Amino acid sequence: MLVFDVNGAPPTRQDIQQEQLRLKKLRKQALRSGLISDALHALILFSLYFADILTGTGFLIAVLCGTVIAVVLATGTRTTLVLSDRFSLLLIILGTGGAVAGILIGYFGEGLTSGLVAGVAASSIVATGCILGRKIMGILTAIESLEPINEDHPVHRELITLCRQYEVLEHYRQQARDNLRLFLVYGELKAMRQWVADHQ
């Protein structure tokens, strides 16, 4: 992944094009992995259902709870996880399985085996969905950071204003122009914002 540093040399057009190709390839692989994971979960759950190990209620609750919590964890957590974040995610994954099993056994009167199987399935859905979802979100964010800021872009005025106010940023922009790259990308604007925040 490209790291934009306004104190250093900007990447060339070829660097950005290569990164875009790499990220698109990673996105394709991640989406394929997600589809395979969903297909395997569906196959296993349907097999357990038709084998009368998992009831229809257990099937639905495991899928619904697991999917909703996986989406929340994938989109609502920080980009970089510290140790405490990972521990919290582990507790949520295990807690989801325990909650699903408890609801099915205690409220719906399901058998112990059915409830536990549904709980394990829900935890598995949350774990894989969270991991793959966060990976896909990271790739999409990286692709967005390579979006060129042309004159019609909503943040173009902000970019021009920052470069006019700070000589370092204007020098960076001029270096990119010297490399025949007329437009900076969104990731470079974010790096400029961070530079300004660090020097205020």
Asked if the model's pLDDT at residue 77 lies above 80, the reply is: no
The whole-angstrom separation of Cα 29 and Cα 199 is 40
With beta carbons less than 8 A apart as the criterion, state whether 192 and 159 touch.
yes
Give the helix ranges, DSSP H, for the chain.
13-50, 56-76, 83-102, 112-145, 156-165, 167-178, 186-198
pLDDT-derived band at 85 (thresholds 50, 70, 90) equals confident
Cβ partners under 8 Å of residue 166, min gap 6 = 192, 195, 196
pLDDT digits (tens, 9 = 90+) for 128-180: 999 999 999 999 999 999 999 999 999 999 999 999 999 999 999 999 999 99
Mean pLDDT of the chain: 93
The whole-angstrom separation of Cα 110 and Cα 104 is 5
Question: Cα 88 from chain centroid?
Answer: 17
SS3 148: strand
Residue with tokens 């872009």: 153
The Cβ of residue 134 has, within 10 Å, a number of other Cβ atoms equal to 20
